Each structure stands twice: as C-alpha cells, then as structure tokens.
C-alpha cells in the first residue's frame, strides 16, 4: 500500500522513456525548437509532461542527457482550448482535474506542488501552478489555450514553452518570442492531422541549426503487442493511417482524397522522350513561392508529378537558379497573378522570371541532352 502511494505521488521518479522519447529529450541539449511528431496514443504527450516536470522541479534522473535548468523557471504549457489543456497538460502534470484530493499524482511530485490558482472559465481548470525547485525558490507553470489568441500569450517572459497539440502559426511564434530574453526553448508534441501546415512545414521544409523534429511510429511504442498494433492500424480510415500510426503529415494542408501516400508514389524511372512535360509556378513571398514539374503519359493517360520546389522570402534570381537544373527546355505556366507588377521595380512578375529563363538558353544539342535525362517519381 505504501509503495503504491509513493509511486502515485512521485511518478517522475519511475519515468522510463522509450528509445524515441529518449531521442526527443536528448535533442533538448542542442536545439532551441523541438517537435515530437508521433501517432496517437504512443507517448508523445507523456514525454512532454515528464520533461516539463523535470524542468519545473530541477529533479533530473541520473540518465538524463537533455537540457537542464539549474534555477527556478517560468513555463507556459498549453493546448487548443482550456478544456483540452486541463484534460491533457494539467492532468499529466498535476493529476485528475475534477479530483483535488488526487492533485499531486501527475508528473509533478505531490511534495513539490507549492500552490495553484484556479481558472474560472472551465470547471476544474487551473490558471497557474507554483512548484518547488531543487535549487531553492519556486518555478511557475502558466496554463494557457490557443483559443485565447496570440495576444494572451504576450504578457510573460518565460524560460520554456510546451505546446501540446499543434498551435496556430501566430501563437507558435508568440511562444518563441516569450523565450527570446531568457534564451529558453520550445517543445511541441502532436499528431500531424492538419497535414503540411505552416508549423509542420517550418520543421520539415525550413532546415535550421536551432530546430529539429523527432518522429515516433506505432512500432516504437513498446506497450503494444504486434496483435494490438495490427488492430489499431486496421481501425483507422486509409487516409489517416499514416498520421495516426506513424506521425506522418497528411498530403497537402489536409488530404482531400482517401488514399495513402504509398498508393500514389512510385520508384524513379527515366521519362520517355515522347511524353509531354511542363512546369508550373505559383508566385509568393510570405506565402511561399512554389514550383512543380509534371509529365503526361498520353498512351496510358497517367499524369506524374516529377519534381517539386518550395521557398519563401527569396527573389526571382534565387528561384530561377534553383529551377535551372530541371532543364532550360522545360516550358512553364503560371496563374494570372504573374501579370501583376512588382511594387519595387514596376515590372511584371512573369517578365522577371522570363528574363531569367532567356539567360539560360543553350545550344540545341544541349537541349536534347537535357530532355533525355528526365526522371519521374
């Protein structure tokens, strides 16, 4: 009975992460921004809660190789709504929200909880928690919700931010801003059900020495047997299997057709010379510039996307240089906004790119050689 009580009131001492959770934790020693992108019910939120409790208390296990705080900190933890913050972040850190006598059975040890303030807008929800730190003094956990909007995330200067579930872009950047003065860090834990959103794209498509992403699939979750894994995978619709079991973002900004990526992807092959090929441009600055190369097998009536490119806040000369290896012979199309005039030069957007293409013109024999080297994937 006493052993059970101690375990319930000091869960942090008994936390033993899986291999992928360990990778996520250790990345905190190197990267300011971390994303733990995993399937449903695999342990991403649990890992986020255990690490948050360590930072708040300063109580790190002997095996810990992640980032550390040797002083009391201020932390923000939040999710999509006050109810979800209460039922996720608060429950795992403090205990069951509707049972105050059980507060202290989360990952913050009961003896470390110094006090709390309540939130009036959601039953059982807390606004803040004060936590004893091992170095002396107290840390402060502030519980917030994305639905409050970015303005409600502006007031505090903090050391650490934990986003549980994917935040809107403006809330995410406000969270990062709150850590600028302290040199703090940001951790994000979610299943990528919103597809290639701006936050997911930041991690996957915009490499940085300050940022990393760790993924975890259902095969990495040791609490499931092979039979249980098979049943779980079979329970999801086809277009959600990858996101819910592998932590793989759905195609685009939300998959439209109920097919998996494996069903539309093929191994690379050499494109026959008689196939029709074309490139397409979508102009952008804050909204990223994008391009795609396509090939059409008219005999089988199959359309292939062979290459893609995406970049934000770059000039035409940069984009043109990136697309040049696709082949100067490739014809291009663009939407009507290419007829708009650049505010700085007064020149049409399309004309700026057309000028770059003109400089690439090669001898006919070079063109035919480039046409012969295409591939599809």
Active-site residue identified among 165, 166, 174, 242:
165
Regarding whether 222 and 75 lie in a shared domain, the answer is: yes
| Tokens standing for residue 192 | 């990528």
Regarding whether 194 and 82 lie in a shared domain, the answer is: yes
Is 350 contained in some domain? yes
Q: Which residues are CB-neighbours of 363 under 8 A, at least 6 positions away? A: none
Is 110 contained in some domain? yes
Active-site residue flag, 165: yes
* Count, residues in the chain: 377
Model pLDDT, residue 369? 39
Residues 315-332, mean pLDDT to the nearest whole number: 86
| Tokens standing for residue 139 | 């840390």
Regarding whether 229 and 313 lie in a shared domain, the answer is: no
Question: Which 8-state DSSP code applies to residue 170?
Answer: H
pLDDT at 366 over 50: no
- What CATH number does residue 278 fall under? 3.30.420.280
Regarding whether 279 and 236 lie in a shared domain, the answer is: no
Regarding whether 223 and 138 lie in a shared domain, the answer is: yes
| Tokens standing for residue 298 | 């008219």
First-last CA distance in the chain: 61
Mean pLDDT of the chain: 86
| Range scoring the smallest mean pLDDT among 68-77, 305-314, 320-329, 361-370 | 361-370
Model pLDDT, residue 127? 95
Share of the chain above pLDDT 70, in %: 84
Residues 249-256, mean pLDDT to the nearest whole number: 55
Greatest C-alpha distance within the chain:
85
Regarding whether 238 and 95 lie in a shared domain, the answer is: yes
Query: How many domains are contained in the chain?
Result: 2
pLDDT at 362 over 50: no
Model pLDDT, residue 370? 39
- What CATH number does residue 86 fall under? 3.40.50.300
Residues 265-274, mean pLDDT to the nearest whole number: 90
Regarding whether 341 and 278 lie in a shared domain, the answer is: yes
Model pLDDT, residue 377? 41
pLDDT at 333 over 70: yes
Regarding whether 200 and 236 lie in a shared domain, the answer is: yes
Model pLDDT, residue 250? 67
| Range scoring the smallest mean pLDDT among 85-99, 317-331, 338-352 | 338-352
Tens of pLDDT, residue by residue over 343-353, are 556 566 767 77
Tens of pLDDT, residue by residue over 201-241, are 899 888 899 999 999 999 999 889 999 999 999 998 877 88
Residues 176-202, mean pLDDT to the nearest whole number: 91
Domain that holds residue 139: 2-246
Residues 241-264, mean pLDDT to the nearest whole number: 69
Regarding whether 280 and 236 lie in a shared domain, the answer is: no
pLDDT at 267 over 50: yes
Is 118 contained in some domain? yes
Is 253 contained in some domain? no
Is 69 contained in some domain? yes
Tens of pLDDT, residue by residue over 72-86, are 999 999 999 999 999
Q: Select from 214, 246, 278 the last residue of a domain.
A: 246
Regarding whether 201 and 287 lie in a shared domain, the answer is: no
Q: Which helix (H) or strand (E) holds 320?
A: helix 316-323
Regarding whether 166 and 24 lie in a shared domain, the answer is: yes
The answer to whether residues 8 and 105 touch, using CB atoms and an 8 Å cutoff, is yes
pLDDT at 258 over 70: no
The answer to whether residues 62 and 213 touch, using CB atoms and an 8 Å cutoff, is no
pLDDT at 368 over 50: no
Regarding whether 320 and 176 lie in a shared domain, the answer is: no
Is 254 contained in some domain? no
Model pLDDT, residue 361? 45
Model pLDDT, residue 3? 53
Residues 279-297, mean pLDDT to the nearest whole number: 88
């Amino acid at each position: 009975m006493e052993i059970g009580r101690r375990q319930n009131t000091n869960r942090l001492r008994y936390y033993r992460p899986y291999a992928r959770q360990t990778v996520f934790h250790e990345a905190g020693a190197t990267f300011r921004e971390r994303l733990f992108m995993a399937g449903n019910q695999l342990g991403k939120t649990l890992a986020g809660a255990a690490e948050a409790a360590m930072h708040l208390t300063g109580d790190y296990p002997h095996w810990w190789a992640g980032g550390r705080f040797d002083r009391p900190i201020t932390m923000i933890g939040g999710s999509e709504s006050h109810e979800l913050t209460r039922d996720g972040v608060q429950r795992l850190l403090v205990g069951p929200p509707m049972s105050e006598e059980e507060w202290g059975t989360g990952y913050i040890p009961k003896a470390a909880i110094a006090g709390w303030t309540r939130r009036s807008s959601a039953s059982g929800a807390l606004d803040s928690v004060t936590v004893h730190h091992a170095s002396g003094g107290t840390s402060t956990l502030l519980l917030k919700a994305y639905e409050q909007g970015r303005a409600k995330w502006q007031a505090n200067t903090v050391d650490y931010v934990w986003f549980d579930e994917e935040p809107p872009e403006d809330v995410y950047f406000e969270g990062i801003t709150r850590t600028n003065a302290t040199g703090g860090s940001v951790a994000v834990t979610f299943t990528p059900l919103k597809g290639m959103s701006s936050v997911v794209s930041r991690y996957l498509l915009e490499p940085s020495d300050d940022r990393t992403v760790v993924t975890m699939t259902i095969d990495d979750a040791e609490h499931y047997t092979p039979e249980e894994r098979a049943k779980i995978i079979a329970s999801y619709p086809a277009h959600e299997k990858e996101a819910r079991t592998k932590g793989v973002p759905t195609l685009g900004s939300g998959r439209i057709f109920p097919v998996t990526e494996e069903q539309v992807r093929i191994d690379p092959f050499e494109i026959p010379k008689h196939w029709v090929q074309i490139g397409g441009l979508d102009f952008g600055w804050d909204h990223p510039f994008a391009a795609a190369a396509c090939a059409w097998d008219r005999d089988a009536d199959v359309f292939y996307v062979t290459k893609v490119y995406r970049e934000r806040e770059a000039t035409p000369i940069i984009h043109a240089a990136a697309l040049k290896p696709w082949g100067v012979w490739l014809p291009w199309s663009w939407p009507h906004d290419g007829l708009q005039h650049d505010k700085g030069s007064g020149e049409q957007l399309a004309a700026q790119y057309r000028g770059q293409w003109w400089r690439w013109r090669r001898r006919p024999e070079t063109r035919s050689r480039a046409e012969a080297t295409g591939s599809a994937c």
